[in-house]
Amino acid sequence: MPQAAQRQSSPTVRHDWSLDEVEALFNTPFMELLWQAQQVHRRHFDPNVIQASSLLNIKTGGCAENCGYCSQSAHHEKKVKLERDTLMEVDAVVTQARAAKEGGATRFCMGAAWRNPRDEQLDKVLEMVRQVKAMGLETCVTLGMLTGDQVGKLKEAGLDYYNHNLDTSREYYDKVVTTRSYDDRLDTLAEVRKAGINVCCGGILGMGEARRDRAALLQELVNLPEHPQSVPVNLLVKVPGTPLADSPDLDIFEFIRTIAVARLLMPASHVRLSAGRREMHDEAQALCFLAGANSIFYGDRLLTTDNATVNHDRELFRRLDLTPAA
């Protein structure tokens, strides 16, 4: 075994990675990179267990942000033609959560298309969190930017995870969204950490960014004061009518390479294979799991786009001898 592989297969947990160091991991020969990532993964997790989360869109469309990938942005609605929907009733959300639990999900994530919620909107979400938590599910929400007071209310309601993705590198960010800054996102993450809520934060690949942008995104995540407990890695779902719908396809091996680097940098985090799985062959998903992904979104729908079906996932798990986390 090469000495470099020996050294990198058991990295210490760090928060001071340089961009050149992260890019050097990306440039590791593919087979060696996967071997290193699998060794690290096995030190922290059972390699045959997958955590399954379910995601529900609790409020659709009309978002004031102009994220170039998102079908829910009010800036794109004339071309996307997505029908807006108001915030769901609590009972309807609880029914969906119960079905997700019966289907094998252990975490229930609720997403609302807001730039930032008003307090009266948040009150309804707080009740959703309380009731879903009482069912024995982990709870996660993504609601946009939050104030410290709002984060405190979510913590008091029992929220386990808050999702707020950085999307891409700081340098490439204005090619994706211009209605809020990179630091706006980091400020919300800081409030979430301060309250003691687990952070779910990752990004989207395949938006036209370069490899160095992917390295810079992971550098931002790994150098946070605390590594995100959950790191969703999304492959762009090209929604017709959105500004990024014509982005060039990302080589699937580059996507898998990014999963492996994320595992090496954040060895104790759950790395989630998120949006874009429906477009992946089973063999590509298997390589993602080998590279260190150990979490998925489970269910036929992800916000406004289709996901791999539950039956397909169950069959894939059977073929790969993978067990959903209890």
State yes or no: is 288 an active-site residue: no
Question: Of 107, 214, 272, 277, which residue is the catalytic one?
Answer: 272
State yes or no: is 70 an active-site residue: yes
Question: Of 107, 109, 263, 288, which residue is the catalytic one?
Answer: 109
User: How far is residue 27's CA from residue 309's CA, in Å, rounded to a whole number?
Assistant: 34
Question: Of 107, 140, 257, 277, which residue is the catalytic one?
Answer: 140
Q: Are 24 and 36 in contact (CB under 8 A)?
A: no
State yes or no: is 201 an active-site residue: no
| Residue 99 CB coordination number (10 Å) | 13
User: How far is residue 43's CA from residue 194's CA, in Å, rounded to a whole number?
Assistant: 28
Question: Of 107, 180, 185, 200, which residue is the catalytic one?
Answer: 200
H or E element at residue 198: strand 198-200
- CB under 8 A, 24+ apart: contacts of 89-97: 90/124, 90/127, 90/128, 90/131, 93/56, 93/58, 93/128, 93/131, 93/132, 94/128, 94/131, 94/132, 94/135, 96/54, 96/56, 97/54, 97/56, 97/131, 97/132, 97/135, 97/137
Judged on CB neighbours under 10 Å (0-12, 13-18, 19+), 324 is middle
Q: How many residues does the chain have?
A: 326
Please spell the DSSP secondary structure of 221-284, one letter per residue: HHTSSS--SEEEEEEP---TTSTTTTPPPPPHHHHHHHHHHHHHHSTTSEEEE-TTGGGS-HHH
Q: What is the DSSP letter of 164?
A: -
Q: CA geometry: angle at 55 spanning 50 and 58, to 5°? A: 165
Which residues form the catalytic set? 63, 67, 70, 109, 140, 200, 272
